[in-house]
Amino acid sequence: MAFHLTSAAFKAQGAIPSKYTCQGENISPPLSWEGAPEGTVTFALIVDDPDAPAKTWTHWLLYDIPAESVAIEEGGIPPGALQGLNDFGDAAYGGPCPPSGIHRYFFKLYALNSRLSLPTGSSKKQLEGSMASHIIGKAELIGTYQRH
């Protein structure tokens, strides 16, 4: 079975409901996955927007998600998981909030063969550097959003 990431809130390439954005409750959408590779010790999640004007905007960093996890509940984080610093300056989820036009939001879930020794509030660069040699699988879900 292929490593696969889905959300009950939106379909792949579909619109992310405003509930999960800066125009709504600004809570994280529910996510679930299946088919994680054998040898997975933890998962890491990076949610970013490559269509942001100045740079790829980081919306959420979540790491040290336990291997037995198969989902992230709406507005929650799995027990034991840590959050990194997003580009809003918070160690939390920051929902889509594009200045104009339709933006794509990439939910990238990485299966890792190790636990990462990163503190809460680490940067995307620190997370990517720490997990680079430990990635054994990747699942991706893309959603879109346009402010109204």
CB 78 within 8 A of CB 33: no
- Residue 83 contacts residue 47 (beta carbons within 8 Å): no
Is the pLDDT at 50 greater than 70? The verdict is yes
Total number of domains in the chain: 1
Instruction: Share the mean pLDDT of the chain.
Output: 97
14-37 pLDDT tens trace: 999 999 999 999 999 999 999 999
147 to 7, 52, 61, 101, 103: CA distances (angstroms): 20, 13, 23, 8, 9
Percent over 70 (pLDDT), the chain:
99
* pLDDT band, residue 79 (cuts 50/70/90): very high
Backbone angles phi, psi at 125, to 5 degrees: -65, -45
| pLDDT level of residue 1 (50, 70, 90 thresholds) | low
What is the domain extent for residue 104? 4-145
CATH number at residue 89: 3.90.280.10
Task: Output the CA–CA distances (angstroms, integers) from residue 87 to 23, 48, 83, 113, 129, in the order listed.
Answer: 18, 9, 13, 27, 17
> What digits encode the pLDDT tens for the residues 88-116?
999 999 999 999 999 999 999 999 999 99
Q: Residue range 38-65: average pLDDT?
A: 97
